[in-house]
């Protein structure tokens, strides 16, 4: 039985995300199930001939750094076989539920509804018995592969790596790892003296380039309305005892200017710059993973109390 792997421990992976992959799942069942065939003691063979229908929804979810397969499908297919006397046998098979709860949790057993469309005879009945006896095991083995295939194919679309970005800033044109000789238009000792006095120490050049490195920033404005008083909302965002009600994780918070705070078990850290109860919160904000430059994000959260007269 396939296990659901944990994702990289990044704060960005903490919240709920869903991706609908129903169309991909239907194609997967249509492609994979028709590869199944079983053989009896003699020359009898039974196989899945065609997938007639895959009805249901399939999603991949992410919550608290875990990927979760969410699916519940009805699968209807056509099976076929060849009897010892060469008679071709066909029938239909409906599996009312192929789901996470059956495949991974084992909460119930698969149900198989069989039918035979070929006229009955001793040879035909033998193939029918073979199909009902051996095909379920082959099908369940294939069904067990589905969650892993789903995660391998689509998990990367929901996962954010916990590793710091390794994308570097290209060096400016003309900068290389070797020194550039001084101008040779002057001759003798005077040229040498001029070159030595005008050259900057490599350490200073390196420090200057480091200071000149730019970081792209932007201003984001978000308006939200909460069914709560401004004072309650202020306390919900700053009170260490109440913050876990919405983060579902440990928090440290001392709502005083220049006091540090942490959310999501240390995944988000920062410093309170200015606090006006029920009016405004100014703070720095930084993610532990992916790594952010220091001092880049400074959220400003003004509160406006709205009243409705009934």
What's the Cα-to-Cα distance from 155 to each of 32, 66, 115, 147, 180, rounded to whole Å? 20, 10, 38, 11, 49
Can you read off the two tokens belonging to residue 106? 């084992």
pLDDT value, residue 309: 39
- Helix or strand holding residue 205 (H, E): helix 202-212
Q: Is the same domain home to 153 and 244? A: no
Q: Is the same domain home to 129 and 20? A: yes
Last residue of a domain, one of 106, 131, 157: 157
pLDDT value, residue 296: 62
Which is more confidently placed, 215 or 17?
17
* Full DSSP string of 47-104: EEEEEEEEEEEEEEEEETTEEEEEEEEEEEEEEEEE-TTS-EEEEEEEEEEEEHHHHT
Domain CATH number, residue 244: 3.30.530.20
Tell me the C-alpha distance between 192 and 251, whole Å: 63
pLDDT value, residue 127: 94
Domain CATH number, residue 59: 3.15.10.20
pLDDT at 122 over 50: yes
The answer to whether residue 191 sits within a structural domain is no
Which is more confidently placed, 195 or 280?
280
Confidence band for 206, pLDDT divided at 50, 70 and 90: low
Tell me the C-alpha distance between 117 and 80, whole Å: 10
Residue with tokens 């063979």: 45
Tally of helices (H runs) and strands (E runs) in the chain = 7, 12
pLDDT at 71 over 90: yes
Can you read off the two tokens belonging to residue 67? 């990927």
Can you read off the two tokens belonging to residue 91? 């029938």
Total domains, the chain:
2
The CA-to-CA distance between both ends of the chain, in Å, stands at 58
- Helix or strand holding residue 138 (H, E): helix 122-154
The answer to whether residue 177 sits within a structural domain is no
Which is more confidently placed, 185 or 149?
149
> How remote is the C-alpha of 272 from its chain's centroid?
31
CB 254 within 8 A of CB 271: no
Q: Is the same domain home to 152 and 235? A: no
Domain that holds residue 137: 11-157
Q: Is the same domain home to 16 and 129? A: yes
Tell me the C-alpha distance between 16 and 158, whole Å: 10
CB 17 within 8 A of CB 62: yes
pLDDT value, residue 70: 92
CB 249 within 8 A of CB 293: no
pLDDT tens column, 124-182 = 999 999 999 999 999 999 999 999 999 999 988 776 555 544 443 344 444 333 333 43
Last residue of a domain, one of 121, 140, 157: 157
Question: What is the model's pTM?
Answer: 0.51
Tell me the C-alpha distance between 238 and 309, whole Å: 29
Phi/psi-derived region of residue 56, left when phi > 0, alpha when psi is between -120 and 50, beta in every other case: left
CB-CB neighbours of 124 under 10 Å = 20
Beta pairing partners, 66: 6, 63
Can you read off the two tokens belonging to residue 31? 């492609």
Last residue of a domain, one of 133, 157, 181: 157
pLDDT at 10 over 60: no
Phi/psi-derived region of residue 64, left when phi > 0, alpha when psi is between -120 and 50, beta in every other case: left
């Amino acid at each position: 039985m396939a296990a659901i792997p944990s994702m990289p421990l990044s704060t960005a992976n903490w919240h709920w995300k869903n991706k609908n992959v129903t169309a991909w799942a239907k194609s997967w069942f249509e492609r994979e199930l028709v590869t199944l065939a079983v053989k009896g003691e003699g020359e009898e063979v039974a196989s899945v001939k065609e997938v007639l229908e895959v009805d249901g929804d399939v999603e991949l979810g992410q919550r608290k750094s875990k990927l979760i397969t969410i699916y519940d499908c009805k699968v209807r297919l056509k099976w076929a076989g060849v009897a010892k006397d060469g008679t071709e046998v066909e029938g239909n098979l409906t599996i009312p539920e192929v789901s996470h709860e059956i495949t991974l949790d084992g909460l119930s057993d698969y149900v198989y509804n069989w039918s035979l469309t070929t006229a009955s005879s001793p040879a035909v009945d033998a193939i029918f018995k073979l199909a009902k006896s051996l095909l379920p095991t082959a099908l369940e083995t294939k069904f067990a592969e589905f969650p892993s295939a789903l995660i391998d194919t689509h998990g990367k679309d929901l996962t954010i790596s916990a590793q710091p970005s390794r994308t570097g800033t290209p060096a400016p044109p003309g900068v290389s790892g070797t020194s550039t000789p001084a101008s040779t238009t002057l001759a003798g000792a005077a040229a040498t003296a001029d070159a030595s006095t005008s050259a900057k120490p490599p350490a200073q050049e390196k420090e200057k380039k480091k200071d000149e490195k730019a970081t792209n920033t932007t201003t984001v404005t978000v308006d939200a309305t909460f069914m709560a008083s401004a004072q309650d909302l202020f306390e919900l965002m700053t009170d260490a005892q109440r913050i876990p009600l919405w983060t579902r994780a440990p928090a440290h918070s001392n709502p005083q200017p220049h006091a540090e705070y942490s959310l999501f078990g240390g995944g988000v850290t920062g410093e309170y710059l200015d606090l006006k109860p029920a009016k405004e919160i100014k703070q720095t904000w930084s993610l532990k993973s992916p790594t952010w430059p220091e001092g880049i994000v400074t959220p400003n959260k003004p509160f406006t109390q709205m009243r409705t007269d009934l």
